[in-house]
Amino acid sequence: MSVNPDWYLGLSVVLFSIGALGVLIRRNVLVMFMCIELMLNAANLAFVTFARMLDDIGGQVLVFFVLVVAAAEVVVGLGIVVAMFRRRATATADDLHLMKG
Q: What is the pTM of this model?
A: 0.84
Q: What pLDDT is recorded for position 13?
A: 98
Q: Which class is domain 5-99?
A: mainly alpha
pLDDT at 7 over 70: yes
Distance CA 92, CA 21 (A): 17
pLDDT at 98 over 80: no
If you average pLDDT over residues 10-25, what whole number do you get?
97
* 92 beta partners: 28
- On average, the pLDDT of the chain sits at 89
Quickly state the pLDDT bin for 83 (edges 50, 70, 90): confident
CB distance 20 to 43 below 8 Å: no
Quickly state the pLDDT bin for 78 (edges 50, 70, 90): confident
If you average pLDDT over residues 81-93, what whole number do you get?
78
Can you give the residue ranges of every domain in the chain?
A: 5-99
Q: Tens digits of per-residue pLDDT, 50-68? A: 999 999 999 999 999 999 9
